[in-house]
A and B are shown apart, each in its own frame.
Chain A
Amino acid sequence: MSSDGFQGAVARADSYHVGDVVPVSGFDTVSAGTNVLISGPPMLGKRRLALELLAVGTPDEHAIAITPDTDGDRLRSTYEGLPDGDPDRLHVVDCTGATGKGSMDDTEAIKYVGSPGDLTGIGMGIVKCTRDIGREVEAGLRLSVLSLSTILQYADSQRMFNFLHTITGRVSAANYLGIATLDPTTQNTQEVNTLTSLFDAVVELREADDGTREMRVVGLPDAPRTWVSF
């Protein structure tokens, strides 16, 4: 490589602790390099679940959140309210395109991208974060895209597929834990299934007939495919 000095840092973690965040047996820890999709209709708490998956690692790991629909500051304050959520270890890539403070200058805590459709800019944001984190990446990194559905409003599905293929590829090569959320009701089934193929496991959320929320995990050999309340 002509750019050897800029080799993206690799995590040395073998697995990532999930604990009770996903109350499904066989999902207490996830192997390093795994990409998990959280899929379900709106209002069931996909984003919160994704943030909890980040937070449960931040006592000693770093986390990156790419946020296309909630501004970075608000996301950080939500994160601070979570048990284990250490905001010093959360790095945000805000691609809402509206910072609310008139400035798009990067800070230590938040990197700004002009629009949710600027996928290259999002990639650069990720690289800026991993450079900030530096050698501490070795302890583990959880990388999340909060709402593929929002990005899909700005990027056609071919570009989206390539974006995800590239991000999930980096996650597995570098031993990160990858997390993304998707509202499958915004796309046709074929589109959803094509994107889903890029993930190792899917956490599906749904509303049961009695109004409670249920989840199941698809794609992990050790996890049963039965619905559980959460």
Chain B
Amino acid sequence: MDATDDPVVLVVEDEPDVAETYKLWLDLDYEVRLADSGADALEQLDEDVGVVLLDRMMPGMSGDEVLAEIRDRGYDCPVAIVSAVDPDFDIIEMGFDDYITKPPTADELRKTIDDLLERSERAEKVREYRSLLAKRAMLEEQKTEKELAQSEAYTDLQERIDDLKADLDGEQDRLLDDATFVGALREFEEDGE
């Protein structure tokens, strides 16, 4: 995703009025793509898509089938299911990253999208944090205490670690949400298996 552009949100919704309402709400902050069916959604899906909002009850492919196909094709963007039935944790167990109860408010939609985008960002930060810690571990293994104390590179590294740790710790409370907690774990599953 290009950092200078708005994040791309793919909205999959078969009711034109509902889809247009979502687009109206989201257009200012995101680049919205509308798909009126599962097949259309898969057509419009590419690497640029940051979040998918997926209606559950659609003619043709159901939301569950679309999710399975998205994963089969190797896309790991977060997918939130939009459902009139109040969903439960089993939605998360099925592999969805979050859920929205229909009809959503504009705020709920934006909040969910931002949560999911932040989740991807957090995963990037955790990767970076690990690589900094690994560098530090390597230096500590190779150099004496005295050498480390005099090393500017080591001091800089330590500073970057502290800053990033403070940043990540500040976001910790998000993990109190079960969907976010499981989502944070899933974020890494798709690339490693």
Contacts and interface: CB of A to CB of B under 8 A. Distances in A.
B166 interface: no
Interface in B91-118: 92-93, 98-101, 104, 108, 111-112, 115
Given A1-B115, A2-B100, A162-B126, A7 B177 contact: yes
B186 interface: yes
Interface stretch (B2-10, B62-70, B135-143): B135-143
Interface string B170-193: 001101111111101111110010
A169 B192 contact: no
Interface residues of A, number: 37
A166 B175 contact: yes
Interface string A87-128: 000000000000000000000000000000001101110111
Nearest to A173: B172
B26 interface: no
Interface in B114-162: 115, 123, 126-127, 129-130, 133-134, 136-138, 140-141
A13 B181 CA distance: 21
Contacts of A162: 123, 126-127, 130, 184-185, 187-188
A156 interface: yes
Judged by DSSP, the binding face of B is helix
A198 to B, nearest CB: 8
Interface stretch (A73-81, A144-152, A186-194, A211-219): A186-194
B34 interface: no
Contacts of B137: 189-191, 193-194, 197
A124 B189 CA distance: 13
Contacts of A193: 133, 137, 140-141
Contacts of B80: 2
B176 A173 contact: yes
A182 to B, nearest CB: 15
A153 B192 CA distance: 13
Given A2-B179, A6-B89, 6 more contacts: A2-B115, A3-B99, A158-B127, A162-B185, A170-B181, A189-B141
8 contacts: A2-B98, A2-B104, A119-B185, A120-B182, A127-B92, A130-B178, A162-B185, A194-B133
